[in-house]
Structure 1
Amino acid sequence: MPAFVRSSAPLTLAAIIAYWAGDVADGQTARRLRQETRRGAVFDIVADRVSSVAVILALTEVRPSMAVPRLPFLVQFDVLDCVLGLRFLHWPILSINYSYLAHRGGYRWNWSPMARAVNTAGLVLLVAFVPPPAYATVFVIAVIMVKVGSLRALHRLAATSSEVSAAARHPVRIIH
């Protein structure tokens, strides 16, 4: 990744934009063409984690003072959010994009368009524009708290069958 090797802020920004644009475009294209699959959703979740490591390494190279929030972010996104993202496999839905069918709160706080923008762009913007790493660290810890709360809620939900049955009755985007 040239952004990392050259420790270039413009190249890092270009890499982040390319990553986000590609991630949004592939999902939108699959939905519009009605070619979504659970396998594709899992691949997307895993690919996002690999990409996030590259982006965080490049950001840390450009802003070494931001090394402190790096580890909690990687734990939050590459571990907690990955486990959360794969929870959709417990329900008869195609991907996390339809997780509102199983748990509206979990969707609202983690995968709605606004939540995705805040959860991922928030750290990047803080690293890029706010010099003290304490702000980025506090932000990441707040996101970790949301992820842990969401994991608890989804764990409780998986233990009850009535909510899962209600989600399974929904006719849109359900696996047949």
Structure 2
Amino acid sequence: MSTIPLAVRPALLLGVPNRITLVRTMIAMAVATYAFRTGDLTWLVVGYFSYWFGDSLDGWVARRRNEESLSGAVFDIVCDRACSFLLAAAFMATYPATIGPLAIYLVQFGVLDTMLTFSFLLWPWMLSPNYFYKVDRPIFLWNWSKPAKAMNTGAVVISLIVAGQTGAQWLPYTIAVGALVVKVVSSYRLITILCGRREAAPGEAR
């Protein structure tokens, strides 16, 4: 017999932030699917914009309405991966030259970043990775501060577009490898903290 009150259950999954996450994911994935079919860069850009804008909006609404929840954070993380993977696949299918840097990106975002992002679950009092600075400020700054979030996906995608227009194929590789290095270093730091070989350095978000 569940001990969760009936009045609470709908709020866990049907709150406004989760509705926004669901809608923005459906829109981004539908646009990505259309971009897959048409091979039109414009639709890829629209897909990424809808993903990024919606990802920012659902978090802002959750904080504004004081509706942050563990289920919402997990749902958001899973939806981010779904959007990113389909958009990256559409990019690679349309522009084969992007396969190399996007493969590196998918390794760091799909594997290392996913592990890092879900690590907040190890601290039961933490609602999302946005509060990881209370555990370790360096890992937070490298991964979930606003500049880090912008660099994690946005920089790779923008560099791919720039490379397509200028022929500077080294640029997306450099950024993708740089992001991978950040994830490797962050993962190593997290493991050493969890194993007791390093002291965590909690601090403020800014």
**TM-score for both structures, normalised by structure 1:** 0.87
Q: Cα deviations across residues 28-65 of structure 1 (Å, max 9, x unaligned)?
A: 11111111111111111111111111111122233221
**Is 1:128 aligned to residue 161 of structure 2?**
yes
Amino acid at match of 1:84: L
**Is 1:149 aligned to residue 182 of structure 2?**
no
Alignment partner, residue 26 of structure 1: 58
Runs of at least 5 residues in structure 2 that lack an aligned partner in the other structure: 1-32
Choose the corresponding residue for 2:139, options 106, 111, 114: 106
Shifted more, 95-104 versus 56-65: the winner is 56-65
Per-residue deviation, 1:159? 3.1
Alignment partner, residue 38 of structure 2: 6
Amino acid at match of 1:150: S
Q: Percent identity?
A: 35
Per-residue deviation, 1:93? 0.9
Per-residue deviation, 1:135? 2.1
Matches within 5 A, 1:43-82: 43-82=75-114
Secondary structure, counterpart of 2:62 in structure 1: helix
CA distance in structure 2 between the aligned counterparts of 1:111 and 1:38, rounded to whole angstroms:
17
Q: Cα deviations across residues 8-32 of structure 1 (Å, max 9, x unaligned)?
A: 1111101110011111111111111
Alignment partner, residue 173 of structure 1: none
Per-residue deviation, 1:163? 6.2
Amino acid at match of 2:66: R
Q: Tell me: higher relative CO, structure 1 or 2? Use CA pairs within 8 A at least 6 residues apart.
A: 1
Q: Is the 8 A contact 2:68 2:127 kept in 1?
A: yes
Give aligned pairs, total: 167
Q: Is the 8 A contact 2:162 2:168 kept in 1?
A: no
Secondary structure, counterpart of 2:100 in structure 1: helix
Q: Cα deviations across residues 149-175 of structure 1 (Å, max 9, x unaligned)?
A: 101111222234x967x96xx9xxxxx
Alignment partner, residue 24 of structure 2: none
CA distance in structure 2 between the aligned counterparts of 1:119 and 1:38, rounded to whole angstroms:
23
Amino acid at match of 1:138: T
Q: Is the 8 A contact 2:101 2:173 kept in 1?
A: yes
CA distance in structure 2 between the aligned counterparts of 1:61 and 1:12, rounded to whole angstroms:
11
What value does the CA root-mean-square deviation take over the aligned residues? 2.1
